[in-house]
Amino acid sequence: MKKTVKDYIRTIADFPHEGIMFRDVTTLFADARGFRMAIDQLLNPYAGTRIDKVVGLEARGFILGGAIAHQLSVGFVPIRKKGKLPGTTISQAYTLEYGEAVMEIHDDALQPGEKVLIVDDLLATGGTCEAGIKLCERLGAEIVACAFVIDLPELGGRKLLERLGMNVHVLCEFEGA
């Protein structure tokens, strides 16, 4: 039987808290065939589409985004947690399950009119990606799409991003939180 991307992802029960089913993509990244399959499938819908930069959301989005940017021969831009980027940044707060967090991007990372693909490993509530979208748009970039390896549909992230007018591409879904 032919393996799918989902087959390479391991589930760890009760991590980081009891009742959480953690979807671990490190097993996908560690397997050359699985990793290549994921990168190819994340890229496939955008063949022939102009993409100027790939934006990766901290931290596993850096791994995926770097590989995708390399395949496309375009630049990579990280969106990081507050205080991690050395240059002048702009910030965007977003809501977490318990509290608030802040993401940042260098204020010169994107130019007005640049077309960007936002990439991360997991789409849950969509809060992190929404913050990333707002940061990119504040710099004048246009979001081509948001691409993820995993969607947790019960948490509503895809619906949130689609309400914002985003094209959302996911490789697989897992039920539950």
Torsional sign, CA 41, 70, 121, 113: negative
Q: Specify whether the CB–CB gap between 131 and 97 falls below 8 A.
A: no
Residue 73: strand, helix, or coil: coil
Residue 106's CB is within 10 A of a number of other CB atoms, namely 18
Active-site position among 33, 50, 60, 80:
60
97 is catalytic: yes
| Six token digits for residue 114 | 């640049």
Catalytic residue flag (residue 60): yes
**44 phi and psi, to 5 degrees?**
-45, -45
Catalytic member of 18, 97, 100, 175: 97
The set of residues, in sequence order, having a beta carbon less than 8 Å from that of 107 and lying 6+ positions away, is 87, 88, 89, 90, 139
- Residues designated catalytic: 60, 97
